[in-house]
Chains A and B, each alone.
Chain A
Amino acid sequence: MTAYEKVMAARDANKLTSVDYISHMFGDSFIELHGDRRYADDKAVVAGLAMLFDTPVTVIGIEKGRNTKERVERNFGQAHPEGYRKALRLMKQAEKFRRPVLCLVDTSGAYPGIGAEERGQGQAIAENLMEMMTLKTPVLTVLIGEGGSGGALALAVSDEVWMLENSVYSVISPEGCASILWKDSSKAAEAAEALKLTAQDLFDLGVIERIIRQPKAGDQAMFESLKMLIKRTFEKNLALDDEELLNARYERFRKIGIPD
């Protein structure tokens, strides 16, 4: 697949969304928790507690919705500041109980709208980046579709970041990039190539740790093996003391793009 075909696959309306992953991996053990305790409950972010085998975990996912009605309700997976604040609230709660945090990311980006700006979209994301860096509990992020810029990074300052083979992660959409740089959004395919946004590109650049095979609905064996991988990673990081855990997380980002 070309880079742009990967972008299209990552946006495919029929692919699995965060709630699908949650139900396949956690079934009935998942209990949803709502609200940022500041302003509202953002439905673009679905979050709660679940059992990963015998370990309680906090799960936070950006949800695009699976049909038109849901997509409207979920604001097409574009979170407002409330969504990021809800995520941070539950991460802090997870820290209190030293519960590992799993983030599932699938968003074209944080919502660019009047209310979002009025309520501090930039501030909300900035706070997440800063607080996640020193969250004293293991955090793992899996990109399951689109990873759109700061809106994705706000849930991805983690010990490890994994990507599904057909997911993408980029500083800007290829269309946006082409229209700003070349005044021509039809050059999106070229921009997608140039931006190096595929899972393989990001693995090669040292930005992610693992590429995951794309699971299909009902492929329970695949979800079980994904769960095992997550469990092992959490166990490895739960064994570290706080200082080791936070130093490793700091260094993970510190080393990215150190110029020659």
Chain B
Amino acid sequence: MDLFAFRKPKNELESDEGESKNVPFVPEEMWIKCPKCNTMLLTTDMEENLHVCTKCNHHFRMNGRDRVEMLADKDTFIEFDADLVSHNILDFPGYDQKLEKARKTGAKESVICGECKMNGIDTVLCVMDPTFMMGSMGVVTGEKITRAFEYATENSMPIVVCTAAGGARMQEGILSLMQMAKTSGAVKRHSDAGNLYITVLTDPTTGGVTASFAMDGDIILAEPDCLVAFAGPRVIEQTIRQKLPKDFQTAEFVLQKGFIDSVVSRNNLKSTLVKLLKLHGYSGEEA
């Protein structure tokens, strides 16, 4: 797997010119600085540790593919609607270019949906991808999530949704806003049929996604320190013209305010999900 397909391909040291300057060859990608504790981490160490800082437990954002790989049992994920991709339906200026750029990250859309096994338990899994237009919800995002819920309802399956979104995708105008209602309807039908829905909030979960399916889970988990908001901190600061308290709108903050069930570290995430699935009577053969 090409983990760095979405990174800028070369830095100065990697260029031919750099080599001729006779400096040691150290590709930038080998190291990554933790934004929280400023430790320089070996990228491979950080990745092996599920994209979590080995020193301070800071959770880096994770792309959709990596997260699916982390949660689904090996070779069990069957993707739904992989070919459903966004188009510039409203002819919005600049949107085609934005989509093209976003696709260079390797992701095709802001959400990956499918079914898989988790410790042998059949589960529908949707993972939003913060590396694709900040996971924003467009028509295709809403459609894929809705279809995943409808599939889970038809097959009486549990569903796990990992959310990450800057909000609705404004380049799709009112049609993106309507996805909030559409997905909520599918969540409600899944719920009314007695099926389990677990939400995992990841950084950042904001706007129209927070105000729809992210907050609809029977059980809502969140990764440490992730942003959970309806209005983003900058919008609030502009409105009230005050600095916000430091831990405002973090996972820990919304836990304290009573809006989520638990903050779970990434290394415990899959085992926690499996435990919850079992507690709801779902079982499966472990491979």
Residues in chain A within 8 A of chain B (CB atoms): 110-114, 116-123, 125-127, 129-131, 133-134, 149-150, 153-154, 156-157, 169-172, 177, 180-181, 190, 194-197, 201-202, 205, 207, 249-250, 253-254, 256-260
Contacts and interface: CB of A to CB of B under 8 A. Distances in A.
A111 B231 CA distance: 8
Contacts of B176: 171, 257
B207 A207 contact: no
Given A114-B240, A129-B181, A130-B187, A256 B175 contact: yes
A196 B236 contact: no
A196 B249 CA distance: 32
A121 B207 CA distance: 10
The 10 closest A-B pairs by CB, nearest first: A112-B231, A122-B210, A257-B139, A122-B230, A129-B184, A126-B215, A125-B211, A121-B230, A257-B175, A171-B177
A130 B192 CA distance: 11
Contacts of A256: 175, 178-179, 181-182
5 contacts: A117-B248, A129-B181, A170-B177, A205-B174, A254-B185
Given A126-B211, A150-B211, A121 B184 contact: no
Interface stretch (B1-9, B67-75, B85-93): B85-93
Nearest to B91: A194
A99 B171 CA distance: 38
B139 A259 contact: yes
B15 interface: no
B184 A157 contact: yes
B215 A122 contact: yes
A181 B185 CA distance: 30
Contacts of A130: 184-185, 187-188, 191, 216
B12 to A, nearest CB: 28
B158 interface: no
A126 B213 CA distance: 7
B181 A153 contact: yes
B170 interface: yes
B230 A113 contact: no
Contact of B90 (A118, A125, A127, A196): A196
Contacts of A119: 257
Chain A interface mostly? helix
B244 A114 contact: yes
Contacts of A169: 174
Given A113-B240, A150-B177, A257-B139, A120 B90 contact: no
Interface in B96-110: none
B195 to A, nearest CB: 14
Contacts of A121: 211, 230-231
B177 A153 contact: yes
A123 B239 contact: no
B212 to A, nearest CB: 5
Contacts of A116: 230-231
Interface string B61-80: 00000000000000000000
Contacts of B175: 205, 207, 256-257
Interface string B149-175: 000000000000000000010111111
B178 to A, nearest CB: 4
A145 B170 CA distance: 20
A112 B143 contact: no
B214 interface: yes
Nearest to B244: A114
Contacts of B228: 122
Contact of A129 (B173, B180, B191): B180
